Amino acid sequence: MAQEDVFKKVVSHCKEYGFVFPSSDIYDGLGAVYDYGQNGVEMKNNIKQYWWQSMVLMHENIVGIDSAIFMHPTIWKASGHVDAFNDPLIDNRDSKKRYRADVLIEEQIAKYEEKVEKEVAKARKRFGDAFDEQKYRETSPKVAEDLAKRDALHERYSKAMNAMDLDELRQIILDEEIVCPISGTRNWTEVRQFNLMFKTEMGSTADGASTIYLRPETAQGIFVNYLNVQKTGRMKIPFGIAQIGKAFRNEIVARQFIFRMREFEQMEMQFFIKPGTELDWFQTWKKTRMAWHQNLGFGAENYRFHDHEKLAHYANAATDIEFKMPFGFKEVEGIHSRTNFDLSQHEKYSGKSIKYFDPELNESYTPYVIETSIGVDRMFLSVMCHSYQEEQLENGETRVVLKLPAAIAPVKLAVMPLTKKDGLPEKAREIIDELKFHFNCQYDEKDSIGKRYRRQDAIGTPYCVTVDHQSLEDNTVTIRFRDTMEQERVNISGLLGIIEDKVSITSLLKKLK
Ligand code: ATP
């Protein structure tokens, strides 16, 4: 299946099976805002649990908080968001469509890379078994030419972005002859800066009301609570504060479903450390976070680091963890070494000292910070895209199955009476009444067993149990496994033992060790 088709299918599957709906659906939706349905919310909660527990339960020196979305407006001045949380935007006069200038150029860079890959693929076909790929890449004049163009463009682009030279960004778009994908023309406006923060007003009278912002990241809620947590928790450096919560950005181009939303959720952890140790801790957190992702079993080849060349002015190292989505490798998580920028800024703007007294060194300093920041929704999307599969069965039928990690699946067990009579529904309910304290169970008695299995496959339920007449006699049921579709006769009393461990977040956490 073409990757583009996979993505389209995932989007419609999410809606059809109660995972993700467009917000305000009966009013035709609201741009780049989405709601999670009955299955989506369970899966999202499981992802959050996996993250939260891996941070807060697994690390003695990491604690959590839940700070408010509204914060003192000066915080966003101190953090730099009021002055610098901008994207460069450009409009096409013919289509009236708006684009991010940086994204247009990055896509152009990617095109040169795609061209190289196409050349290599063509040569591989031409030369067959005798093909020496490395040699070809090193010696082909065509490959060399494309790579040179890519590097030159990359250098020019980095320079323009570092200097935020808007005229130069526009000039690059013109020189590269980048066209609007809708109108096909090069009729571009100037490039302008656009601040991504949503504003609102707090206070009841027009005079007394002050402008406040919907937070564009959860991190600042952690920084401004650093002192509170450090003191009340008697935390010693190194230590971390974790938080999960909503963030809001008025994205210029919101597309690709829940990849880029205007209201989304972040899971962030700020790790406070001694100055000078940040590059070691940066490496440690890179490793730890990559292991967390790969622990889901989606295959190491689907992840990569993308180290930033253009660093924010306060950062001294930064990388993204990218996942192979159907539309290419994309950022799911950022890991940043933020120096002591945020805490120093809050010291300056609040006038409060945010120093840590290090008893070992017998001196005070403003701690440095390593940040790990992951979007819940992007994580959700990556899990969905990877798990969605269409399988050709022996009987010629196709089944759609979500091969979700069992611990992430919204429903863990479906219990199905073979018929709606003869006491089978009651027996099925008995099983659920016992197991519902341990994990999410679903009762299903409608349609044929085959159809019921398909329904559960489509939402990724790892186990189905069928109650039949024999169950009434000997307390056994058939358990069916989602991935292999194999069935086994087991005793009802053994179900908890078979299922519980496999579907728990604990099982995932134990594998991390
Ligand atoms: P991008 O370059 O894709 O805009 P970013 O580098 O601005 O992302 P960060 O500010 O580092 O993103 O935010 C950390 C994480 O928050 C990202 O890795 C992503 O998973 C998530 N995130 C950021 N913006 C959005 C959004 N608009 N919709 C959904 N998730 C988002």
- In this structure, the residue with its CA closest to atom 21 of ligand 1 is 375
- In this structure, the residue with its CA closest to atom 19 of ligand 1 is 375
- In this structure, the residue with its CA closest to atom 25 of ligand 1 is 260
- In this structure, the residue with its CA closest to atom 29 of ligand 1 is 260
Q: Is 377 in the pocket of ligand 1 (CB under 6 A)?
A: yes
Q: What is the pLDDT of residues 433-471, one digit of tens each?
A: 999 999 999 999 999 999 999 999 999 999 999 999 999
Domain ranges of the chain: 42-69+217-384, 89-194, 400-512
Homologous superfamily in CATH for domain 42-69+217-384 = Bira Bifunctional Protein; Domain 2 (3.30.930.10)
User: Which atom of ligand 1 is found nearest the CA of 376?
Assistant: 20
Q: What is the domain class of 400-512 according to CATH?
A: alpha beta
Beta bridge partners of residue 407, listed in sequence order = none
Mutation probe of ligand 1 site: the residue of 373, 376, 382 with most atoms within 8 A of C-beta = 373
User: Which atom of ligand 1 is found nearest the CA of 375?
Assistant: 20
Q: Which of 57, 50, 367, 53 is nearest to 239 (CA)?
A: 367
Distances 483 to 403, 454, 462, 473 between C-alpha atoms, Å = 7, 12, 7, 29
Q: Contact, 259 vs 330, CB < 8 A?
A: yes
Q: What is the pLDDT of residues 365-403, one digit of tens each?
A: 999 999 999 999 999 999 999 999 999 998 899 999 999
CA 456 – CA 454 distance, rounded (Å) = 5
Q: Which two tokens stand for residue 114?
A: 């795609």
Mutation probe of ligand 1 site: the residue of 79, 106, 257, 266 with most atoms within 8 A of C-beta = 266
357 has a pLDDT exceeding 80: yes
Tell me, in angstroms, the distance from the centre of ligand 1 to residue 375's CA. 6
Q: Is 466 in the pocket of ligand 1 (CB under 6 A)?
A: no
- In this structure, the residue with its CA closest to atom 4 of ligand 1 is 260
Phi, psi for 94 (deg, rounded to 5): -80, -45
User: Which atom of ligand 1 is found nearest the CA of 379?
Assistant: 20
- Arithmetic mean of pLDDT over the chain: 95
Percent of the chain residues past pLDDT 90, beyond the cut: 87
User: Which atom of ligand 1 is found nearest the CA of 373?
Assistant: 14
- In this structure, the residue with its CA closest to atom 30 of ligand 1 is 375
Which pLDDT does position 203 carry in this prediction? 83
Q: Contact, 3 vs 325, CB < 8 A?
A: no
DSSP state of 214: B
Q: Is 373 in the pocket of ligand 1 (CB under 6 A)?
A: yes
Which pLDDT does position 330 carry in this prediction? 95
Strands (DSSP E) along 216-296, which ranges? Answer: 239-248, 263-273
Which pLDDT does position 255 carry in this prediction? 76
Which pLDDT does position 206 carry in this prediction? 66
Q: Which of 209, 189, 277, 196 is nearest to 237 (CA)?
A: 277
Q: Is 249 in the pocket of ligand 1 (CB under 6 A)?
A: yes
Q: Is 260 in the pocket of ligand 1 (CB under 6 A)?
A: yes
Give residue for tokens 């992702």. Answer: 293
Burial of 336 (0-12, 13-18, 19+ CB in 10 A): buried
**In what helix (H) or strand (E) does residue 319 lie, and over which residues does it extend?**
strand 317-325
Sign of the CA dihedral running 368, 374, 375, 378:
positive
Mutation probe of ligand 1 site: the residue of 218, 292, 330, 378 with most atoms within 8 A of C-beta = 378
Q: Is 462 in the pocket of ligand 1 (CB under 6 A)?
A: no
Q: Is 332 in the pocket of ligand 1 (CB under 6 A)?
A: yes
Q: What is the pLDDT of residues 61-117, one digit of tens each?
A: 999 999 999 999 999 999 999 998 999 999 999 999 999 999 999 999 999 989 998
164 has a pLDDT exceeding 90: no
207 has a pLDDT exceeding 70: no
Tell me, in angstroms, the distance from the centre of ligand 1 to residue 4's CA. 22
Q: Is 334 in the pocket of ligand 1 (CB under 6 A)?
A: yes
- In this structure, the residue with its CA closest to atom 2 of ligand 1 is 331
Q: Is 293 in the pocket of ligand 1 (CB under 6 A)?
A: no
Q: Is 335 in the pocket of ligand 1 (CB under 6 A)?
A: no
Which pLDDT does position 208 carry in this prediction? 64
Tell me, in angstroms, the distance from the centre of ligand 1 to residue 166's CA. 22
Q: Is 220 in the pocket of ligand 1 (CB under 6 A)?
A: no
252 has a pLDDT exceeding 90: no
Q: What is the pLDDT of residues 37-77, one digit of tens each?
A: 999 999 999 999 999 999 999 999 999 999 999 999 999 99
Which pLDDT does position 308 carry in this prediction? 87
Q: Is 264 in the pocket of ligand 1 (CB under 6 A)?
A: yes
Distances 464 to 21, 114, 460 between C-alpha atoms, Å = 26, 44, 11
